[in-house]
Amino acid sequence: MSDGAMSIRLKFLQCCTASTLVAITAFVGAAGAWAAPLVLEEIVPGVYVHAGLVEETNPQNQGDIANIGVIVGDEAVAVIDSGGSAAVGRSVLRAIRAVTDKQIRYLVTTHMHPDHVFGNQVFKAAGATLIGHHKLPAALAARADFYKQSMREQLGPELADEVTVTLPDETVEGERVIDLGNRKLTLKAWGTAHTDNDLTVLDAATGTLFAGDLVFMEHVPVIDGSLKGWLAQTPELEALPASRVVPGHGPASAPWPAAIAPQTAYLERLASDLRQTIADGVPLADAVETAGRSEAGNWQVFDAFNARNATAAFAELEWE
């Protein structure tokens, strides 16, 4: 076992409490390595969250960098996102079975990125119906080969090569309600924002919003859709009748809508800085080095993503 894995195990044993956490040690990965215990935290009755690490994908974390939700109804279970590798997906499945033996009826995918979908095949094999945004199939199909190659470099070949990019069985355009047995979930498809296929899940019974990557906390927001679209839809997102949010990255849950304020501040600062550089005739190569830079101290993995965000947003804003 690596020193890093041992550190994670010790931290887990020091911090967890039996009343709120369910943990298992799972045998995962094509290489046959033992993973750190996967933890599901019950944030409100019947709603569990596994909080991913706030870092970039690498072989050591096996792609476990995104938050994953589990909602248990009287009859069945829904899983929100499947993790960044089949290994993570298997660990989630085992953790769910430590909580309940009810049927896993649905896997809801919040958007196309590998850290949220690379465990899909595990839940497909377990009999779940996969649901996503109506634009998700085309987005995944268009990027499947690229994702497989890029994740081979990030995850390592053994973990990446066992992944089958698995498309949804059913899609949502507008809204759809699914019922787990006295537990109705509202799935809402959004316009282009973080991506062009963002989907949220609202558990009316507890006022819990699973926002996917429409809400980032701690991890700097990532733009792979439209900066303007994201900001334009934020008021509608804030108005959803939730009392807590599970962000796509960051803590297991946070008060809603207060949790989105730092993200909005970052996106507005990035837009403002870029509009000024465009007005001043600053070239793209120089603009991306300074735009949003004042927000650096507020976010983790900032240097890995801010310049990429600025590049995407510059191209969008210069045509206003």
Is the pLDDT reported for residue 20 higher than 80? no
- Residue range 30-52: mean pLDDT, rounded: 77
The pLDDT of residue 37 is 52
- Domain boundaries along the sequence of the chain: 3-317
pLDDT, tens digit (0-9, with 9 covering 90-100), for 216-261 = 999 999 999 999 999 999 999 999 999 999 999 999 999 999 999 9
Which of 108, 140, 119 minimizes the C-alpha distance to 64? 119
- Residue range 74-92: mean pLDDT, rounded: 97
The pLDDT of residue 9 is 36
What is the token pair recorded at 144?
């499947």
237, 202 in Cβ contact below 8 A?
Answer: no
pTM over 0.95: no
pLDDT, tens digit (0-9, with 9 covering 90-100), for 166-207 = 999 999 999 999 999 999 999 999 999 999 999 999 999 999
265, 305 in Cβ contact below 8 A?
Answer: no
**Domain boundaries 3-317, CATH class:** alpha beta
Is the pLDDT reported for residue 17 higher than 70? no
pLDDT, tens digit (0-9, with 9 covering 90-100), for 229-239 = 999 999 999 99
The pLDDT of residue 260 is 98
